[in-house]
Structure 1
Amino acid sequence: MTTITLKLRLYPTSNQANLLDATMEQYQLASNLVSNYYFEHSFKPKQSDLQKSLYHLIRDKFGLKAQMTQSSFKTVLARYKTVNTQLGRKPYKYLDSKSGKWVLVKRNLDWLQKPIQFHRPQCDLVSVRDWSFVKNQLSINTLGTREKMNFTAKGFEEYLDKGKLGTAKLVKSQGHYFLHVSCTLDNPKFEKGILKHVVGLDRGLRFLTTVYDEQGNTSFVSGKNVIAKRRKFKKLRQQLQSKGTKSAKRRLKAINQRENRWMSDINHQVTKTLVDTYGTGTVFTIEDLTNVRFATEKVSKHHRYEQVSWAFYQFEQFLTYKAELQGSTVVKVDAHYTSQRCPKCGSIDKSARNHGTHEYHCEYCGYTSNDDRIGAINIQLLGTNWVTDKSTSFKQVKSNEE
C-alpha cells in the first residue's frame, strides 16, 4: 500500500472563511499549549497523559470540539517524533582537541532548548468525524457549525474513489484555503519475478539525474538552467534582505515559497518522466545520501548556495511513491566508490576522475567515460546485485588514493 496526499482547494463563502480562520487559529494556539506542556515534562507524557491533564482545559479555553482536541495531542506528538528523527539523522560534529579527530554525537529531543512552536494556523481533521463528502460538496467541522462548501481536486480526481481517505490538514496559503487529505492506495506489489528493468540514478547538480539502465542506455537531466534560476533567486533575496523593510520581508517570504514550489515542480516532472518511461516492474537504484554532504570548500563562495544544494530527499520521496503506484520499487545502496570504480575492470582509483573535464579515465584498462555516467553505471550494478541477492557494496580492490 502507498499513502499519498491529495490537495483539495476549498471555495468557502465569506462567513465560512471566517469560521475556518477562527478554527485554525484556535487549533494552532491549542497545539502550542500542548507543545509547551510536553516540553516542560521532558517529552515523557503519552497521548493518554495529555488527555487527562489538558483535555478539559483545551476545550474550555479554545472552544475545540472533542475530536479536534484529541487531534491536537496527535499533532504535537507527531511533530516531536519527526523532529527527533531529523535530529538523529544529523549528529553533532566536533573536533576533539586531544585526539585531533572529528567526533559525531547522536542527537535527540534533549538537545531542544525551547518548545516547538506552531507558527502557521492549521487544523487536523479526522475523516467522517470532522470532514466528509456530501453530494459533490465538502462538509467540514468548525468551531461553530459543520459547513458545506464547494471544492476542486485538480489532478487528484482519480484518487478520490480509488483510495482510502484518512486524516486531513486544513491550511491557508496565499489567501486560499486547502484541505490536504491522506489517501492510502492498494498499488500493485513489486515482485522480482516480473522484473523488467534495473535503472541506476546518479544525482547531482551539474546533472540533476544521470540515468543508466540494463540495456546500456544513458540519459542526462541537465542542471544548468536550474543553477541559473537559483542564482537569480539568490540575487533577488540578497537585494530584499539589504533593504530590511516590512514590504521587503513580505516579498522575501513570497520569494522563498515560490522557489520551493518551483523546486518541487522540477522534482515532480523528473520523477514522473522516469516512472512513465520505465513503467511496471522496475528497480530504481539510488545512492543512500544520509550523512553525505557536498564539499562546499571546493566551490567558490559566490556560487556555493546554488551549486551545492538541492531537494534530493524530496526527489527520493516523489520517486518512491510514484514507483510504488506503478508496481515498481526504489532501492537505496551504499554510496561509497560509485564515482571511483571502473565499471569495466572493477579497479577503484580516486584520481581517475577529473572534476575539471568531468571525465573518468581508468589507468588499468583504459576505459574512459563521463564521470556522472560512471556513477550511474555503478549504481545500476549495485541494483542488479540487489535483485540477484548479491552484495550491494563495493570493496576496495585497487587504489591510488595514497
Structure 2
Amino acid sequence: MFLTKTVILKIANPDDDLEETMQKYSDGMNYVSEVLFDKGKPIPAMKLQQEVYSYLRETLKLKSQMSCNIPRQVAGCYKTLHKQKKAKWQKVEFSPSSMTFSYKRDFVIDEDTVKITTINGRKAYSILNYDYAKQYFDGSWKYQASKVVKHKDGDYYFHLSIEKEVPDKEITDASTFMGIDVGMNYLAVASTTDRKCSFFAGGEIKNLRNQYKSMRKRLQSKGTLSAKRMLKHIAGKEKRLMRDV
C-alpha cells in the first residue's frame, strides 16, 4: 500500500517575487474560474486548458507549468461543486493564498532549500527543516505536486506532498476486530467481534446544534444586515464545534 503525507516547512526568506507570483497565480485562477462559470457546467480540464492557456502565458506572464496547473485545479473545483446535489452553480473566487507546483517541473527541494519557479525565474528559498521532517529527505520518499501556502499569520510555508510504498500490514493473526459507528445521538459506538461495546453519548452536542438551528431560523426571518452578520458568526461557531468533536 502507499503511505502519503504532507510535510509543512516554513519558508525562511520569502521575497517580493514570491508574493507577486502568488498574486498572479490567483489572478489566473479567477480568470479561468470566470471562463468556466460562464459555460454553466463543468468541462474537461484539458479542454479548459486549451481555451485559457494563451491568456495565462501571454497576458498574465505565468510560466508554462503554472498555466497547466491552474485550469486543472479550477476544473477539479467546479467538478466537485457540480457533484454536490444541493450546491447551486456559482462562481468560485480564489484569494492569493496558495499555488501549486509540480515536482521537477517547477520545484525541486532538499532538506535546506526549495527552488521554485516564480514569474521572474527560478528562485531558491531557505526552509526551516524541523527535526521531525529530516526523515522525509532520506531518499525513500517520492515527492508529488506540492503547494506554497500563505498562512493566516502572514508567513509562507511549503506544503510538501510525499508518498512511499510500504508493506501491507499482516492481519492473519488477528483474532479480534473493532468497528466504529458515528452519529449524533451517540458520537461513537465502538464494538468488537468478541461482543464488547462502548458508547460515547452525544446528547450535549445534539442540544447545541438544535439551539443553533433555532437561532438560525429566527435570524433568517429578520433579514437585517446585523442578522446576517450574526448568522455568519453562528455558522463559524458551529463549524468549529463539529471540527473539534
Specify the TM-score bucket, using the shorter chain as the normaliser. Answer: 0.7 to 0.9
Partner of residue 63, structure 2: 65
Q: Which runs of structure 2 are paired with 1:45-84 in the superposition (5 Å)? A: 45-84=43-82
SS of the residue corresponding to residue 212 of structure 1 reads strand
Which residue pairs with 1:364 in the alignment?
none
User: How many residue pairs get matched?
Assistant: 235
Task: Please state if 1:138 is matched with 2:111.
Answer: no
- The corresponding residue for 1:23 is 21
Q: TM-score, normalised by structure 2?
A: 0.72
Query: How much has 1:66 moved relative to structure 2?
Result: 0.9
Of 152, 161, 176, the match for 1:197:
176
* Residue 125 of structure 2 is aligned to residue 148 of structure 1: yes
| Pick aligned residue for 2:94 from 119, 135, 139 | 119
Deviations 1:10-48 (A, max 9, x none): 2343x52x4333222221221122222233345475444
Q: Does the aligned pair in 2 maintain the 1:199–1:212 contact within 8 Å?
A: yes
Please tell me whether the aligned partners of residues 180 and 191 of structure 2 are also in contact (alpha carbons under 8 angstroms): yes
SS at match of 1:21: helix
Equivalents in 2 of 1:259, 1:12: separation in Å?
35
Aligned residue number for residue 147 of structure 2: 169
Match of 2:11 in 1: 11
Q: Which amino acid aligns with 1:70?
A: C
Asked which structure has the greater RCO (Cα within 8 Å, sep 6+), the reply is 2
**Are positions 1:219 and 2:194 aligned together?**
no
Kindly provide the amino acid, as one letter, of the partner of residue 164 in structure 2: L
How far apart, CA to CA, are the structure 2 residues paired with 1:156 and 1:208?
34
User: Taking every aligned residue pair, what percent have the same amino acid on both sides?
Assistant: 23
Which TM-score applies when normalising by structure 1? Answer: 0.47
CA contact (8 A) 2:42 2:75 kept: no
| Alpha-carbon distance in structure 1 between the residues aligned to 2:210 and 2:50 | 52
The CA distance in 1 between the partners of 2:38 and 2:68, in whole Å, is 20
Q: How far, CA to CA, are the matches of 1:58 and 1:83 in structure 2?
A: 24
Return the alpha-carbon distance in structure 1 between the equivalents of residues 149 and 33 of structure 2.
19
Q: Give the whole-Å Cα distance in 2 for the aligned partners of 1:31 and 1:158.
A: 34
Q: Deviations over 1:55-94 (max 9, x none)?
A: 221122222111111100111121122223333xx5xxxx
Matched residue, 2:187: 208
Letter in 2 for 1:205: M
5+ residue gaps in structure 1? Answer: 91-110, 267-402
For residue 232 of structure 1, report the CA deviation from its aligned partner.
10
Which secondary structure does the structure 2 equivalent of 1:182 belong to?
strand
Check whether the contact 1:210–1:219 (CA below 8 A) recurs between aligned residues.
yes
Whether the aligned pair in 1 keeps the contact of 2:110 and 2:137 (CA below 8 Å) is: no
CA distance in 2, matches of 1:213, 1:243: 52
1:182 maps to 2:158: no
Structure 2 unaligned residues grouped into runs of 5+ = none
1:101-139 residue CA offsets vs partner (Å, 9 max, x unmatched): xxxxxxxxxx8544x323332211111222222352333
Contact residue 164 and residue 185 of structure 1 kept, 8 A: yes
**Which of 26, 30, 38 matches 2:36?**
38
State the Cα deviation string for residues 335-366 of structure 1 (Å, max 9, x = none).
xxxxxxxxxxxxxxxxxxxxxxxxxxxxxxxx
Write the distance in 2 (CA, Å) between the matches of 1:156 and 1:82.
32
